[in-house]
Amino acid sequence: MRIGVFVCQCGTNIAATVNTGEVAEAAMAMRNVAHAESIQYSCSEPGQKAIINAVHRHGLTRVVMAACSPRMHETTFRRTVNQAGMNPFMLEMVNIREHCSWIHSDMEEATLKAIDLVRKGVARVRDQAPLHPDTVPVTMGALVIGGGVAGIQAALDMADAGIPVTLVERESTIGGNMARLDKTFPTLDCSSCILTPRMVEAKQHENIRLMVNSEVEQVRGYIGNFEVDVRRKATCVNEEKCTGCMICEQKCPGKAPDEFNVDVGESKAISVPFPQAVPLVAKLRKEHCRLFIKGKCSVCQKVCPADAIDYEQEDEVLTEKFGAIIVATGYDTFDWKAAYPEYGGGHYPDVITSLQYERMLSASGPTGGHVKRPSDGEEPKNIVFISCVGSRDPSIGRPLCCSVGCMYTAKQAILTKEHIPDSRSYVFYMDIRASGKGYDEFTRRAQEEFGAVYLRGRVGKIYPRGGRLVVMGVDTLAGEQVEVEADLVVLATGLSGAGGADELARKLNISYDRYGFLSEGHPKLRPVETNTGGIYLAGACQAPRDIPDSVAQASAAAAKAAGLLSRGELETSPMVAEVDWMRCTGCFKCRDVCPYGAIEEEGLRDGRTVARVIPSLCQGCGVCNVACPPSVISLKGFTDNQLIAEVVELLR
Amino acid sequence: MAEQNLKIIGFLCNWCSYAGADMAGMARMKQPADLRVVRMPCTGRVNPLLVLKAFQEGADGVLVSGCHPGDCHYTDGNYYARRRLELLARMLPALGIEPERFHYTWVSASEGARWTQVVEEFTEQVQSVSSGREAE
Ligand SMILES: Cc1cc2nc3c(=O)[nH]c(=O)nc-3n(C[C@H](O)[C@H](O)[C@H](O)COP(=O)(O)OP(=O)(O)OC[C@H]3O[C@@H](n4cnc5c(N)ncnc54)[C@H](O)[C@@H]3O)c2cc1C
């Protein structure tokens, strides 16, 4: 056995804190090590060539790479040793960057630690056996969860590439938050004019099946072959029969909150969210319906010309297989009321959120595009915008930037002037963040051309006085207190991941952060992938982002998914469990704990029944390995011997 | 560093805690250098005997960290781990090992800061039992 050890300097990323030469020297003294050297950038082409040359020159049969995280470059170096003619699994990576040089400052300490880690890697690779991946067929089909602009874009891109797509949306229409917007920065094109055609296209595309009022209930399987249960919630309306004529909504006597319009205006117990909804189908909300509350009423059924109302309708669960999943569940705006009592905590009707303001500005909105104060329906003249409500505010535990607030506030200030020419807009801001193409110019236009008054500072208090609101803040540039009398105050509330995104993430086995945003595989190199193979992210579900970025990410995710599906077959990890059938007692404790049903019974000729692992089902968690009383089921690549050797070497 | 370096082994699951530790590295969050990480596919692969083996070989402390309950990459490996490790924790005093020397916890892939805090606190805890023993 001839082991080679390569200690990467990663420029100065490692070499500044770890003496890589000393580590290589120490490695040379380790048992079975035939060659050790320090390399400047081992992942670069010359670096990889040096490794391949060394393998040939020194007749190496195993390799230890002391470099960055295996999560970063394990695949890279497996390929490298494979090019050198070795089995790719005869490589062990030791993390001396993320887990060493980047988190320590003392060179001596870090170098000692790196040597320890290399010793561990050498011990582990000694016990490594060559492994050979299997292949499984990939299910041709993709699931997109969330039908906002990102989900629609991803679905259309894949469908155009010939991939059958199921688009699951939990509301009764697709469109997401963009459907709520009036005009969009930085070009001021009307949101529904650019979105509606795409919604219709998604509905009509031969490769897209649209499922609204639906949510993912359970996900089984893994990359290439996910099996998903989708629950379609009963809406008491037959989707095939409903024509969206809205007669039911007009006649319905039951009032209900208007979620689509963010409670600007009221809706009915049975309603179509907005006239351009896709599909254009009514939905009955039982919690507001007189029939279900009081047991009497059935007006909608009587007036429906299409005979589409069915009070007995039940939930349906559809189970289907998909090769890839794209999550595009978007965002929710931050519920500011409890966090900002100084802004009235929701008690002043004329303090509204920017999303509510979008609905007021929209010509197809509940006010027909007329800006009206909620308190008395009057047209406001002085409008104050407050940025960063629930953003960049560590005092309430939300230090994140919402990334769109500066831009949409500028947009709303411009639109206000267009709607009410004799109005005056004031914008309290912290910084103006406008780094996109044409963005800075746009925020300047708001000030220079449309006369919005920008005041740099936070607002400390809002209180009512004589039918108006007094907004008290500081102008940090002028260094003075300012007081503005406002008719309407618009809060640019921050963004969080969509409600329930954490729950969905758990079903999908992907990570999320404390704001409910889903975590990408790598912040720079795998921005649309997740840590679970075959699951991708698109749009604002991953982090706050605007429409152009959401669409770009959606296309990227679609390309990734299409790439996976185009392969037809997939290599499975050979790091699966294996039973030593000679010593298996047939207790089947392994089968009891296996989350994947990957253990089956096998009858032997000698009459014994033993356990057998189905490699294509095993995902390599190793839970069985621990449960097995005589320790005869073993996870390849993480065998007891390897782990013990690591521990022993570390404690030498 | 005045204190004697400790030998602490950390068994980290690949999907959450190992990634969380990577995150701490990417953010250059400094932490004590006594801990050595052993990468596991899942905390469900951590055999309590392996933990005992580490103590037997002279570890001053052993830390196990996986995905938060409910977030296991393999659905419920961390629940098995929790049951096994909880039993182990209760058994340690009977074996003459101070319970402060062992800790299991959950750190997600996005919790670099939390990982750093876990390492700091556990190192300090092991340091204090170790120096306590020396003083006796
Ligand atoms: C007030 C305001 C104004 C804005 N103005 C602009 C602008 O002018 N220009 C611009 O570029 N950007 C603007 N934005 C940002 C823009 O809204 C987002 O970039 C865009 O909507 C993101 O699209 P998305 O598809 O990622 O998410 P969303 O639009 O949030 O869509 C997500 C969809 O997923 C669905 N969903 C959520 N969870 C589930 C689940 N568990 N199962 C099934 N479906 C689910 C939701 O119902 C929704 O339909 C503005 C944002 C705000 C708050």
Do A349 and A485 have their domain in common?
A: yes
Report DSSP state, residue A242: -
Q: Which chain A residues have a beta carbon less than 8 Å from that of B118?
A: none
Q: Do A99 and B73 touch (CB under 8 A)?
A: no
Do A480 and A595 have their domain in common?
A: no
**Which residue pairs from A523-531 have beta carbons closer than 8 angstroms and sit at least 24 positions apart in sequence?**
A523/B26, A525/A72, A527/A553, A527/A556, A528/A553, A528/A556, A528/A557, A528/A560, A529/A560, A530/A327, A531/B15, A531/B19, A531/B73, A531/B109
Size of chain B in residues: 136
- What are B52-109's pLDDT values in tens digits? 999 999 999 999 999 998 888 888 899 999 999 999 999 999 999 999 999 999 999 9
CA nearest ligand 1 atom 5, residue: A408
**pLDDT value of residue A209:** 98
The atom number, within ligand 1, closest to the CA of A504 reads 41
Please give the distance of CA A58 from its chain centroid, rounded to a whole number.
46
Do A215 and A343 have their domain in common?
A: no
> For position A37, which CATH number holds?
3.40.50
Residue type, A612: R
Q: Do A595 and B116 touch (CB under 8 A)?
A: no
Ligand 1 pocket: which of A178, A199, A232 to mutate (most atoms within 8 A of CB): A178
Do A369 and A394 have their domain in common?
A: yes
Provide the b/e sequence for A79-94 (b: ≥16 CB within 10 Å). Answer: ebbeebebbbbbbbbb
How many CA atoms within 13 Å lie on the side-chain side of A478?
A: 9
List, for chain A, all residue ranges whose pLDDT scores fall below the cut of 70.
none
- For residue A355 and ligand 1, the question of a CB distance below 6 A is answered with yes
Q: Do B37 and A95 touch (CB under 8 A)?
A: yes
The two structure tokens encoding residue A444:
């300047």
- Chosen from A99, A122, A648 to mutate, greatest number of chain B CBs within 10 A: A99
CA nearest ligand 1 atom 28, residue: A330
Query: B-contacting residues of A 51-110, CB under 8 Å?
Result: 69-72, 95, 97-100, 102-106, 109-110
Q: Is residue A648 in some structural domain?
A: no
Do A80 and A228 have their domain in common?
A: no
* pTM of structure: 0.85
**pLDDT value of residue B2:** 40
Do A55 and A78 have their domain in common?
A: yes
Do A190 and A324 have their domain in common?
A: yes
- What are A69-83's pLDDT values in tens digits? 999 999 999 999 999
Do A91 and A155 have their domain in common?
A: no
**pLDDT value of residue A221:** 86
> For position A600, which CATH number holds?
3.30.70.20
Query: B-contacting residues of A 488-517, CB under 8 Å?
Result: 505-506, 509, 511-514
CA nearest ligand 1 atom 53, residue: A355
Q: Do A532 and B73 touch (CB under 8 A)?
A: yes
**pLDDT value of residue B4:** 64
A162 by Cβ neighbours in 10 Å (0-12 / 13-18 / 19+) ranks as: exposed
| Cα–Cα dist B63/B103, whole Å | 5
Q: Is residue A226 in some structural domain?
A: yes
CA nearest ligand 1 atom 39, residue: A329
Q: Is residue A238 in some structural domain?
A: no
Q: φ and ψ at A412, to 5 degrees?
A: -70, -30
Q: Is residue A642 in some structural domain?
A: no
Of A617, A572, A575, which is closest to residue A89 (Cα–Cα)?
A575
Q: Is residue A607 in some structural domain?
A: yes
Q: Do B25 and A97 touch (CB under 8 A)?
A: yes
Residue ending a domain, choose from A565, A584, A609: A565
Q: Is residue A196 in some structural domain?
A: yes
- Diameter of chain A measured on Cα atoms: 95
Do A432 and A471 have their domain in common?
A: yes
Do A484 and A339 have their domain in common?
A: yes
The atom number, within ligand 1, closest to the CA of A540 reads 26
Do A535 and A596 have their domain in common?
A: no
| Cα–Cα dist A90/A88, whole Å | 6
Domain of residue A601: give its range: 573-636
**For residue A495, how far is its CA from the centre of ligand 1 (angstroms)?**
10
The atom number, within ligand 1, closest to the CA of A495 reads 53
Domain count, chain A: 5
**pLDDT value of residue A511:** 87
Residue ending a domain, choose from A565, A595, A625: A565
| Cα–Cα dist A301/A474, whole Å | 57
Q: φ and ψ at A104, to 5 degrees?
A: -125, 155
Q: Is residue A645 in some structural domain?
A: no
Q: Do B76 and A531 touch (CB under 8 A)?
A: no
**For residue A36, how far is its CA from the centre of ligand 1 (angstroms)?**
53
Angstrom distances, CA of residue A521 to CA of A25, A281, A529, A535, B43: 35, 38, 5, 10, 20
> For position A385, which CATH number holds?
3.50.50.60
Do A12 and A71 have their domain in common?
A: yes
Cis ω for the linkage preceding A186 (within 30 of 0): yes
Q: Which chain B residues have a beta carbon less than 8 Å from that of A509?
A: 71-75
Q: Is residue A132 in some structural domain?
A: no
Whose tokens are 């009321």? That residue is A337
Q: Do B47 and A625 touch (CB under 8 A)?
A: yes
